[in-house]
Amino acid sequence: ALLFALLDQRPSGAAMGRLMEFVEALTGGHWPMLALLVLALVIVKAGVTHVYALFTIRFKNDINTRVLQAGHARLIDMPYSELRARGQGDLLNATASETWQVANAAYILTRLAVKLCTIAVFAVAIVTLSWRIALLAAVGAALIALLGRLVGHAARATDDRRFGQRQADRQRGQPRD
């Protein structure tokens, strides 16, 4: 629809034409400005996503390095008898795997914060553009979330039934796929 608006043409389909008339009524007929605003928002989102990816890679590596160095420093300061009792390989393995878990937890928290900020920026942009479009988007998002919950609940219930049936078959000695 935005491509037709940029080219100042009307689409030939009746449904598309009605959609364009509806959006035109909402926006006051400022199609080129609406299309440029959407394009600018897409470009800004791509830039934010790229900067975010660079930031999180650096952030995860920095956290991992700091935690790993602290863990190794503790291993070096540990009395030899305690180190011998625990097993050097087990301690090094635990230190390495735990550092990645700490880095992943920090990554998840920063990802959540950035996603919330992105949602806030786009929500403000949509509300600034048109409160009607923002209301329509909020209702659509709520419906999609509700549909996702319903489908997820049904899938989990089906999986639970299949798992229970497999367990019962195994107990009877009848393996299933």
71-96 mean pLDDT: 75
pLDDT at 5 over 70: no
Question: What span, in angstroms and rounded, lies between the C-alpha atoms of 177 and 175?
Answer: 7
Give 11-65 pLDDT, tens digit per residue.
Answer: 556 666 677 777 777 777 676 777 777 888 899 999 988 998 888 788 888 888 8
Smallest CA-to-CA distance from 98 within 67, 57, 138 is with: 67
What confidence score (pLDDT) does residue 145 get?
A: 94
Half-sphere exposure (CA, 13 Å, Cβ side) for 7?
6
Give 97-107 pLDDT, tens digit per residue.
Answer: 777 788 888 88
131-146 mean pLDDT: 90
Cα torsion 7, 2, 12, 131: sign = negative
Give buried/exposed letters for 105-117 (b at 16+ CB in 10 A, else e).
Answer: ebbeebeeebeee
